[in-house]
Amino acid sequence: MPFSRMSPADEGGRLKPFLWFTLFQLLELGATERGVRVSTKVLAERAGGSQQSASRHLVLLERMGLVSRRIDAGGSLIRITGDGLRALEDVYRVLRGHLEDGGVEVFEFEGTVFSGMYQGGYYISQEGYAVQIREKLGFDPYPGTLNLRLGEGDLERRRRLDSIPGVHLEGFRAEDRAFGGARCYPLLVNGEVEGALIAADRTSYDLSVLEVIAPVSLRERFGLEDGDKVNVVFFPRTENTSE
């Protein structure tokens, strides 16, 4: 696979395949617990690209915090950081799920209801989002989100879910401002109501928070108050990209 001139990450902030491949080459060279000396010439030969591309990829990886690099008279001493190893693990988990299990993992969580920043209704009511949710997820969204907080023990599975592409909502402009893109993951709430997790490309929440949208007010539907527990089951799927 030759080196590419593509951007380092997709719209969801995930590492692009050409940088995964460069990280994989460094992994094979042993750049994990200890640094290894490797020239851009060697890296380019292994990947079938140019030295200029290899150098550019190393700069990008270092800038993103996925490798550490020290340059001296003997060349570059490179080590894959913890974040770099996690990026490789994300790819491994997705591949293993498809190759070993022959399907997509089903994720189930129990979250605790909490009051957010009361901005969900404003964003979901934007026609640019609502139209896409109707077209891609099949329901008219209630203008608001149900916020659930996950426990520490659920964060690893939440990261695995985040590594799946999901259903993409395009960003748009309205009211003289820009609205960013998002990914959606279809789910079932308390075994009764179909909805979706909406994960904005730019958000102030971390992975411990699930923002759930649905065709009804989930607080009213289930009589929920802050501190109540809610069960959600995900059946991840991706958009039809054949069109």
- pLDDT band with cut points at 50, 70 and 90 for residue 32: confident
Range of the domain at 209: 107-234
pLDDT in tens, 49-104: 678 878 888 888 999 999 998 877 666 789 999 888 888 887 776 666 655 555 55
Q: How far apart are CA 134 and CA 195, in angstroms?
A: 11
Residues 168 and 137 in one domain: yes
H or E stretch at 81: none
CB 96 within 8 A of CB 103: no
Give the total number of structural domains in the chain. 2
Q: Report the chain's terminal Cα–Cα distance, integer Å.
A: 26
In a domain, residue 10? The reply is no
Neighbour-count burial of 210, counting CB atoms closer than 10 A to its CB (0-12 exposed, 13-18 middle, 19+ buried): buried
205 and 112 in a single domain? The answer is yes
Q: Indicate whether 175 and 78 sit together in one domain.
A: no
| Separation CA 215–CA 196 (nearest Å) | 10
Rounded Cα distance between 237 and 186, Å, is: 8
CATH of the domain at 194: 2.40.30.30
d(CA 208, CA 230): 14
Range with lowest mean pLDDT among 31-35, 67-71, 96-100, 161-165: 96-100
Shared domain for 115 and 225, answered yes or no, is yes
Total-model pTM: 0.56
Q: What mean pLDDT do residues 210-223 have?
A: 93
Per-residue tokens: 72:
């001296």
DSSP letter (8 states) at residue 28 = H
| 227 inside domain | yes
* pLDDT of res. 199: 86
Mean pLDDT is lowest, of 1-10, 133-142, 155-164, 165-174, for 1-10
Does residue 5 sit within a domain? no
The answer to whether residue 12 is domain-embedded is no
Please state, in angstroms and rounded to a whole number, the distance separating the CA atoms of residues 106 and 113: 22
Indicate if 88 and 117 belong to the same structural domain: no
Instruction: Let me know whether 123 and 213 are in one domain.
Output: yes
Range of weakest confidence among 13-17, 23-27, 29-33, 179-183: 13-17
Domain end marker among 101, 128, 162: 101
The answer to whether residue 239 sits within a structural domain is no
Q: Flag whether 31 is in a domain.
A: yes
Claim to verify: residue 146 and residue 226 sit in the same structural domain? yes
What pLDDT digit, counting tens, does each position of 132-160 carry? Answer: 898 888 888 998 899 999 999 899 989 88
Strand order in the sheet with 75-80: 36-37, 75-80, 67-72
Please check whether residues 192 and 129 belong to one and the same domain: yes
Q: How confident is the model at residue 213 (pLDDT cuts 50, 70, 90)?
A: very high
Q: Average pLDDT of the chain?
A: 80
In this structure, are 164 and 78 located in the same domain?
no
Residue with more model confidence, 145 or 13: 145
Co-location of 136 and 81 in the same domain: no
Q: Do residues 96 and 117 share a domain?
A: no
Domain end marker among 78, 101, 124: 101
